[in-house]
């Protein structure tokens, strides 16, 4: 039965996304205003989360909201599922997400990424990609928007240890902003290698902020340890 419910959700997701094609045309004719695009993307993401709740039985809970800084900040999160890419549009309405250019192959979603605007990088371009990431992150923060990055670079199994890719330490140094680590266990319910989506409650944990000004190695050590401790706890609980 859970497999059937998951399949129904996939069908509804395709239908729901298709309904936004006329909306994209209207926004395009209006000059693709950033605020309108972001509002539309939040409506789209909210509909997906509601569908997950009612069809799949998958919902979420937030913990540690008192740790969220009052100012725009750098948000780092572990990456186990497509779920968090959608959910962060609701959790942080004006967030600028650092995303890989490969996502531009996804119909409709790609348009939202371009027009929101998000920070799209080509990981194969090396130092050029890092420079673009820093510059566009600085611009987003200047506009009052927090910046979200998944330092692992891609989705990983819930059983895999946290290990950052290079680049996030430079972003931390250049932005000079507090860092909010966010730990998720979404991979237990909707993740790579799972044949269908499972019912349950995804935990979104806002951990102790990391202050700016640390040495790159110390920042990496603290950030990885904080997220890994939460990942381990979630993995043991699921087991």
Q: Residue 24 falls within a domain, yes or no? A: no
- Please state, in angstroms and as integers, the Cα–Cα distance from residue 44 to each residue in 10, 13, 19, 172, 187, following that order: 14, 10, 10, 31, 22
Q: How many domains does the chain have?
A: 1
Q: Residue 50 falls within a domain, yes or no? A: no
Query: For residue 115, how many other CB atoms are within 10 A of its CB?
Result: 19
Looking at every residue in the chain, the average pLDDT score rounds to: 88
Phi, psi at residue 202, to the nearest 5°? -75, 135
Residues 5-41 pLDDT 10s: 999 999 999 899 888 888 878 887 888 777 888 888 8
pTM of the model: 0.91
Residues 166-222 pLDDT 10s: 889 999 999 999 999 999 999 999 988 788 899 999 999 999 999 999 999 999 999
Q: Residue 43 falls within a domain, yes or no? A: no
Domain residues for the domain of 222 are 59-238
Q: What is the CATH classification number for the domain harbouring 154?
A: 3.40.1130.10
Over residues 75-86, the mean pLDDT reads 93
């Amino acid at each position: 039965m859970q497999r059937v419910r998951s399949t129904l959700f996939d069908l509804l997701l395709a239908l729901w996304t298709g309904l936004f094609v006329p909306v994209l045309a209207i926004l395009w004719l209006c000059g693709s205003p950033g605020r309108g695009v972001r509002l539309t993307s939040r409506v789209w993401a909210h509909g997906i989360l509601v569908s997950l709740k009612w069809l799949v039985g998958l919902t979420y809970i937030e913990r540690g909201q008192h740790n969220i800084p009052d100012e725009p900040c750098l948000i780092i999160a572990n990456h186990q599922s497509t779920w968090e890419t959608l959910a962060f549009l609701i959790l942080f309405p004006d967030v600028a997400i650092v995303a890989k250019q490969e996502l531009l192959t996804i119909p409709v979603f790609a348009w939202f990424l371009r027009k929101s605007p998000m920070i799209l990088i080509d990981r194969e371009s090396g130092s050029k990609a890092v420079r673009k990431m820093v510059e566009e992150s600085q611009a987003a923060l200047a506009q009052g928007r927090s910046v979200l990055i998944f330092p692992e670079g891609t989705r990983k199994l819930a059983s895999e240890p946290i290990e950052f890719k290079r680049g996030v330490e430079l972003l931390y140094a250049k932005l000079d902003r507090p860092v909010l680590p966010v730990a998720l266990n979404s991979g237990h319910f909707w993740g790579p290698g799972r044949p269908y989506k499972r019912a349950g409650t995804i935990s979104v944990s806002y951990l102790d902020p990391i202050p700016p000004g640390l040495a790159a190695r110390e920042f990496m050590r603290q950030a990885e340890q904080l997220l890994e401790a939460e990942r381990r706890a979630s993995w043991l609980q699921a087991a």
